[in-house]
Structure 1
């Protein structure tokens, strides 16, 4: 419902059973499958203008991140990004007289960071959600737009991972199928909740989720 979270929650779980890079690859498959399902539910609400602002640069970030995954030290990147997410999410809870948002001219940076983080670590959605809060989107448009950008990032990074880890799918497919079906169920529950919460509550849920993920990243918990 918040536009992100599946990869953030599943990656630490898969890391218990697989090497971190293989875990990111397997979670990417689940993430992409679930996003296609979610896109089918929300596609008609897509905001094409925002997709154009974020889409191409997100693909570029995902491509670079996927190539650099084996070379980069991820902990420093995660801590710095976590601090940024805490700041971005906290802004949503400030009183109107203190309200502030990132300049829209920085949107390409948000798109690139979302793709880059997705390529390197698999945790892409919190940055994208933080930037999308700058726009007056309906709940449905927010989810639809965030979802299709996530699909573009996944389509970019999965083939690159596949070149190195394709043999892992043969051993992991039963777990992947079970996880994908569970994710589908979670998406249906999230869609039901989206119909009954107010826009203000929805924005606070998203912002609160961004803060929680940011704190966890800054403390190296995820």
Structure 2
């Protein structure tokens, strides 16, 4: 049942976010966190995110703008290294506190606390109409790359900022989508390199066959969602879906932060 839930989340999120440019990693990571440790869930999400973006790259990547990529994606890759290193550092910190409710003990740890807080914060931003309208002038593209890349490396929450900065870069709709996809691939490859070095030197036991099975199923469902989305979705403005997803993210973020998940 859990793997079916993850598969459904990956399918719906991938389809609905093809044109918005963000959402898959933000939505999928909490779903993975229900099945595995948070640091592993972030790495697993990055694998699915990268695989899905490579698939979308084959669909639309040729339309990317190289000048915008140079100004945005290079700073994003550098900042992603810093975010990923901070993630690794947080995973090494000891338990902050414990608390008991209804006979069960729950631990508040640094990494779930930080990631849960970020997810909750991004959920609140998703609920804010002002944030949905937020756009930055093209001269801030390098800054946007730094911000998007850092949060991408730390928690996978990169797309919302990427969209806010790229939307005013003077790109056509097709170039906007393609440039966002290429930038996401660059960040994903960068952060996976850091995650991979960490896991293969310290936490290889966490990368069990069950983890890779869930990752594979989620990736395939994300491919299917992106393919169907590219065929039938011209413009996704489903505010009710956005509110539902954001509310779910908020609940999951609070659960992670408090040690309930």
TM-score tier (shorter)? 0.7 to 0.9
Determine which structure has more spread, i.e. the larger CA radius of gyration.
Answer: 2
Residue 61 of structure 1, aligned match among 79, 83, 87 = 79
**CA deviation map 1:155-191 (0-9, x unaligned):** 1111211123242334222222111111110110121
- Relative distance call for 1:213 and 1:152 in structure 2 (3 A) is farther
Structure 1: segments with no counterpart, 5+ residues: 92-100
State the match for 2:131 in structure 1. Answer: 88
Superposed, which structure 2 residues align to 1:1-222 within 5 Å? Answer: 1=18, 2-69=20-87, 70-71=89-90, 73-74=114-115, 86=128, 87-91=130-134, 101-166=135-200, 167=204, 168-171=206-209, 172-194=211-233, 197=234, 201=235, 205=237, 219=250, 221-222=252-253
Q: Which has the higher helix share?
A: 1
How far 1:120 moved relative to its partner? 0.7
**Is the 1:118–1:124 contact (alpha carbons within 8 Å) kept by the matching residues of 2?**
yes
Q: Normalized against structure 1, the TM-score is what? A: 0.79
How many residue pairs end up in the alignment? 204
Structure 2: segments with no counterpart, 5+ residues: 1-17, 91-110, 254-261
Q: Secondary structure at the match of 2:133?
A: helix
Q: Normalized against structure 2, the TM-score is what? A: 0.68
Moved more, 66-75 or 113-122: 66-75
- Relative distance call for 1:49 and 1:88 in structure 2 (3 A) is farther
How far 1:135 moved relative to its partner? 3.1
Aligned mates of 1:186, 1:218 — CA distance in 2:
20
